[in-house]
């Protein structure tokens, strides 16, 4: 996307909107000065930036709906924003748009321990829900890596996953009801506190819709009982293919691990000197395989996991002996992104998904691309659910490396689609992958997406230009760019 | 497009050109469900067979007319199941199960039909063969049209192929029975669901609370020790609820399905009742005052469906608020602009 397209001059109708927003919101709830707008120029994908006309920070659902109504009347686009931790540019503003921040709608409204539900405002942080439910022995299962900062409204918009989603599901599986403000400024309810609602499943359609259909102003989520204990097996392999086979064998044996992660040799080599997690530096790949449940159940399952991985050719299997060791085994995996940032001036993080059986073939193909493009690539992988995160190492100061990296990344995503996978497993399309939507979907499916958006937002004012490409726009590629190892929100683990 | 799909597409195009209604139908096992059938039958039963099944991927793709029995048998051979336990009603198809979006006894503990739908192909009202979602568990590209279609009762298109997530069959299973009054049973079901127990089904009928526990040997054994109750052989019982050939369902000519928050108090009235889903599903046998029942359900945070009955004049599904009804009409127009698919099956106005 060109800088000029992102920063066009505001229209007259946009300027006329400001006094109306000012009248509708208390003074501190509307930002229009350049220095106040600066923090809202980008989200976690900082390569794309735009300065909005204004940022509205309503403190109630009704005020949020009112902002939408006024924007619609003025014909001004609205970009909803939670914590701004997204990695695909879904919350990137453009000039002449209004950012609707849900940050002030940050209260947990109700936790019902008997019904096992939490009713929360959209600006509540993901982890805050589990923290509030912890004394009841309950938690909110989806745990995206940014969970200490990301908000539930953003999780709904992206249908966020996490390390445990093979066993416990994505956001869509853990939602009961949403209150959504439409572009008309009306508040509608999707889903119910019952397990289903009459009519079409608009709750599912809305989840993962990246702010294109409406704005979440309240969410009711399921809480589930916290497992009594968890242990993890750290298994080493001298061959990537064997590690991939072990993943298939574990599932084939009827085991659903609470987490199943793979790291390849370059990722191990980046992480171990940094974290000292105890990973074997001579391994071609390691698997982290977690079991949770009652102590007896976990003991039984861990034995089965070890047996399967040994049979698949693991050269070493270590089981966490206590909680401290379990957390240390995980620490390396969770530090993979910053660790790679230490060994390379820049890296690109990709996010594709593939059938697990293609793992070895895809990683082999990526090795070939390393030679083709003359760049290194470290791989971390949510192996249990086929979600790949290749980290391409490059130096933006060297001419041509960025260009080669982009081509490399594009080839990986197309490879994912060719193997029957997806261009995004969990980061969303946003701006980042909008062009690659054309690789994954045909023009007829894209037309349906546009028509569905039109059903909710006839004038196309909700987060325009994101997630679904127009049919004549299938050209350039863009990806998450990290300069000098500095991710936006460097305090967050990224996995 | 394969030959059989192309033939269906042509019939759709012809019907759309004339504004003629089409009644999409698989095995017909759920003909009783939803508004009265209208239009000329459009059979999916020829679209049969498993397209791809990878047990280690936990993913199966089959054509929509594949009988559930055939699909489940293939999964069973590899030790896997459809975790949402779709009702078979004596012989349903995969397409029918997804179009109806119904789930069986395991629903509150494992998830609903829509939770296991990963992708599908459909013929829309313009005869286009579209593909949404995919064959992988994690995929957030594009709107989730697959789940929108799940439970849409064929009003948005003809399903030709569906991809589902499967799960391993739990290695151990036990059922327990407790004599309790209704209010206590409802409380217990919810209290127990808040503890890390391997619950996989629950019901309350005629003074008896029944639970099914499924999971690892150790987990099931431990849970039985904690819960007490009287063990019974549950297989036939839970199948009877799933497929509604249990005596309660068989004797109910008119059947209401009341979907409520799991903790909702006992419903007023003295209609014969069977509770499932940890309290979230209350089946009532016999004719009810539809308006009063729907009002009560709405007050409790739920809705009431006239699941089965000769007289459907009260409307099958709880009416939608105006804003949602408008969205429904617009979505219907996106995929079926001529309004030819399953007219009146979901709501009378389309």
The domain spans of chain B are 3-168, 172-308
Between B337 and A350, whose confidence is greater? B337
Inspect the interface and report whether the beta carbons of A251 and B58 lie closer than 8 Å.
yes
Beta strands in B44-171 (DSSP E): 50-54, 59-63, 80-81, 117-123, 129-133, 158-165, 167-168
CB A267 within 8 A of CB A286: no
Inspect the interface and report whether the beta carbons of A297 and B335 lie closer than 8 Å.
no
Share of chain B above pLDDT 90, in %: 99
Which residues touch B289 (CB under 8 Å, ≥6 apart)? none
d(CA B212, CA B238): 8
Q: Distance of alpha carbon B307 from its chain centroid, rounded? A: 12
Query: Which of B150, B190, B303 has the CB atom closest to A115's CB atom?
Result: B190
Q: What are phi and psi of A153, to 5 degrees?
A: -60, -45
CB B117 within 8 A of CB A205: no
CA neighbor of B53 nearest in space, from B217, B220, B170, B166: B166
d(CA A47, CA A481): 6
CB B135 within 8 A of CB B163: yes
CB B89 within 8 A of CB A147: no
Gap between the terminal Cα atoms of chain A: 27
Q: A35: distance to nearest CA of chain B, Å?
A: 34
CB A306 within 8 A of CB A317: yes
Q: A447: distance to nearest CA of chain B, Å?
A: 9
* Mean local confidence (pLDDT), A357-383: 93
* Mean local confidence (pLDDT), A304-320: 97
pLDDT value at A486 more than 70? no
Between B198 and A406, whose confidence is greater? B198
d(CA A74, CA A66): 12
d(CA B93, CA B30): 10
Radius of gyration of chain B (CA): 21
Q: Which CATH number fits domain B3-168: 3.40.50.10470, 3.90.190.20, 3.30.465.10, 1.10.3720.10?
A: 3.30.465.10
What are the tokens at A86? Answer: 């997204």
Inspect the interface and report whether the beta carbons of B140 and A425 lie closer than 8 Å.
yes
Q: A215: distance to nearest CA of chain B, Å?
A: 15
In sign, the C-alpha dihedral spanning A203, A205, A207, A209 is negative
Query: Which of B196, B318, B328 has the CB atom closest to A200's CB atom?
Result: B328
- pLDDT band (50, 70, 90) for residue A491: very low
B60: contact with A, CB 8 A cutoff:
no
Mean pLDDT of chain B: 97
Residue B216's Cβ-count burial label (10 Å; 0-12, 13-18, 19+) is: buried
Q: Which of A170-174, A268-272, A472-476 has the lowest mean pLDDT?
A: A472-476
Q: H/E element holding A109?
A: strand A108-112
- Residue B61's pLDDT is 98
pLDDT per residue as tens digits for the range B74-111: 999 999 999 999 999 999 999 999 999 999 999 999 99
- Residue A10's pLDDT is 53
Which residues in chain A have Cβ-Cβ distances shorter than 8 Å to B114?
A: 201, 204
pLDDT per residue as tens digits for the range B224-252: 999 999 999 998 999 999 999 999 999 99
d(CA A431, CA A92): 8
Chain A 310-329, residues with CB within 8 Å of chain B CB atoms: none
Q: A44: distance to nearest CA of chain B, Å?
A: 18
d(CA A375, CA A406): 11
- pLDDT band (50, 70, 90) for residue A111: very high
B122: contact with A, CB 8 A cutoff:
no
- Residue A81's pLDDT is 98
B195: which DSSP letter?
A: S
d(CA A105, CA A358): 43
Q: What are phi and psi of A100, to 5 degrees?
A: -100, 100
CA distances from B302 to A106, B270, B297 (A): 27, 19, 5
A134: contact with B, CB 8 A cutoff:
no
> What residue ranges define each of the domains in chain A, with the CATH number in brackets?
3-101 (3.30.43.10), 108-225 (3.30.465.10), 229-334 (3.30.70.2190), 338-457+464-483 (3.30.70.2740)
d(CA B118, CA B103): 16
CB A163 within 8 A of CB A259: yes
| pTM over the 0.90 mark | yes
Q: List the Cα angle B62/B64/B66 in 5-degree steps.
A: 70
A487: contact with B, CB 8 A cutoff:
no
Q: B52: distance to nearest CA of chain A, Å?
A: 12
B137: contact with A, CB 8 A cutoff:
yes
- Residue A11's pLDDT is 62
Name B50's bridge partners: B62
Which residues in chain A have Cβ-Cβ distances shorter than 8 Å to B277?
A: 195
d(CA B299, CA B174): 36
pLDDT value at A410 more than 80? yes
pLDDT per residue as tens digits for the range A239-264: 999 999 999 999 999 999 999 999 99
């Amino acid at each position: 996307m060109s800088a000029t397209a992102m920063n066009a001059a505001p229209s007259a109708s946009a300027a006329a909107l400001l006094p109306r927003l000012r009248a509708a919101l208390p003074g501190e709830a509307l930002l229009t000065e350049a220095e106040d707008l600066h923090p809202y120029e980008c989200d976690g994908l900082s390569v794309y930036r735009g300065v909005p006309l204004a940022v509205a920070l309503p403190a109630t659902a009704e005020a949020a709906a009112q902002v939408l109504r006024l924007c619609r009347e003025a014909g001004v686009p609205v970009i909803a924003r939670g914590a701004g931790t997204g990695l695909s540019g879904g919350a990137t503003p453009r000039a002449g748009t209004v950012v609707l921040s849900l940050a002030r709608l940050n209260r947990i409204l109700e936790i019902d321990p008997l019904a096992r539900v939490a009713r929360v405002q959209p600006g509540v942080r993901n982890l805050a829900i589990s923290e509030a439910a912890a004394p009841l022995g309950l938690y909110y299962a989806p745990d995206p890596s940014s969970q200490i900062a990301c908000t539930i409204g953003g999780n709904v918009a992206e249908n966020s996953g996490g390390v445990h989603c093979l066993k416990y599901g994505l956001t869509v599986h853990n939602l009961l009801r949403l209150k959504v403000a439409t572009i008309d400024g009306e508040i509608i309810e999707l889903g119910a506190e019952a397990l289903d609602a009459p009519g079409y499943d608009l709750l599912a359609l809305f989840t993962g819709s990246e702010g294109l259909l409406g704005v979440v102003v309240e969410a009711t989520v399921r809480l589930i009982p916290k497992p009594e204990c968890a242990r993890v097996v750290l298994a080493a392999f001298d061959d990537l293919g064997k590690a991939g086979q072990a993943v298939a064998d574990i599932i084939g044996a009827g085991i659903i691990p609470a987490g199943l992660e793979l790291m390849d040799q370059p990722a191990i080599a980046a992480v171990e000197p940094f974290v000292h997690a105890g990973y074997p530096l001579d391994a071609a790949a390691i698997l982290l395989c977690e079991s949770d449940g009652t102590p007896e159940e976990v003991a039984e399952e861990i034995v089965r996991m070890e047996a399967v991985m040994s049979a698949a050719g693991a050269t070493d299997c270590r089981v966490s002996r206590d909680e401290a060791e379990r957390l240390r085994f995980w620490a390396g995996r969770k530090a993979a992104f910053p660790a790679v940032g230490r060994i390379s001036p820049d890296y690109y993080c990709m996010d594709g998904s593939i059938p697990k059986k293609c793992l070895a073939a895809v990683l082999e193909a990526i090795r070939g691309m390393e030679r083709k493009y003359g760049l290194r690539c470290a791989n971390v992988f949510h192996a249990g659910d086929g979600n790949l995160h290749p980290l391409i190492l490059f130096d933006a100061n060297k001419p041509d490396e960025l260009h080669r990296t982009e081509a490399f990344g594009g080839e990986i995503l197309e490879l994912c689609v060719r193997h029957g996978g997806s261009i995004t497993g969990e980061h969303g399309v946003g701006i980042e992958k909008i062009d690659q939507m054309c690789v994954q979907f045909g023009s007829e499916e894209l037309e349906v997406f546009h028509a569905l958006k039109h059903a909710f937002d006839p004038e196309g004012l909700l987060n325009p230009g994101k997630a679904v490409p127009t049919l004549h726009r299938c050209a350039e590629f863009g990806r998450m760019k990290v300069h000098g190892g500095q991710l936006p929100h460097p305090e967050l683990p990224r996995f | 497009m394969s030959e059989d799909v192309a033939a269906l597409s042509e019939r759709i195009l012809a019907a759309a050109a004339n504004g003629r209604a089409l009644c999409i139908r698989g095995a017909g096992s759920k003909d009783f469900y939803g508004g009265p059938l209208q239009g000329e039958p459009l059979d999916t039963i020829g679209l049969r067979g498993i397209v791809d099944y990878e047990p280690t991927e936990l993913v199966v793709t089959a054509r929509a007319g594949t009988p559930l029995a055939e699909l489940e048998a293939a999964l069973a051979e590899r030790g896997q199941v459809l975790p949402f336990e779709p009702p078979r009603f004596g012989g349903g198809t995969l397409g029918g199960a997804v179009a109806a979006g119904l789930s069986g006894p395991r629903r509150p503990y494992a998830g609903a039909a829509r939770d296991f739908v990963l992708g599908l192909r459909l013929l829309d009202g313009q005869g286009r063969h579209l593909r949404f979602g995919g064959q992988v568990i994690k995929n957030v590209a594009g709107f989730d049209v697959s789940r929108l279609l799940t439970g849409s009762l064929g009003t948005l298109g003809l399903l030709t192929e569906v991809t589902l997530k499967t799960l391993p069959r739990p290695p151990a299973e036990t059922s327990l029975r407790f004599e309790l009054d209704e209010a206590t049973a409802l409380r217990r079901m919810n209290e127990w669901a808040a503890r890390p127990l391997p619950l996989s089904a629950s019901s309350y009928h005629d003074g008896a609370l029944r639970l099914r526990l499924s999971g690892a040997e150790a987990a099931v054994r431990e849970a039985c020790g904690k819960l007490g109750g009287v063990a019974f052989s549950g297989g036939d019982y839970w199948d009877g609820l799933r497929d509604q050939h249990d005596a309660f369902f068989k004797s109910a000519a008119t059947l209401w399905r009341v979907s409520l928050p799991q903790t909702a108090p006992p419903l007023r009235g003295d209609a014969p009742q069977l509770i499932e889903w940890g309290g979230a599903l209350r089946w009532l046998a016999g004719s009810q005052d539809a308006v009063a029942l729907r009002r009560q359900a709405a007050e409790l945070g739920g809705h009431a469906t006239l699941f089965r009955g000769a007289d459907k004049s009260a409307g099958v599904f709880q009416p939608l608020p105006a804003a949602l009804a408008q969205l429904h009409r617009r979505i219907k127009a996106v995929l079926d602009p001529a309004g030819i698919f399953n007219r009146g099956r979901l709501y009378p106005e389309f």
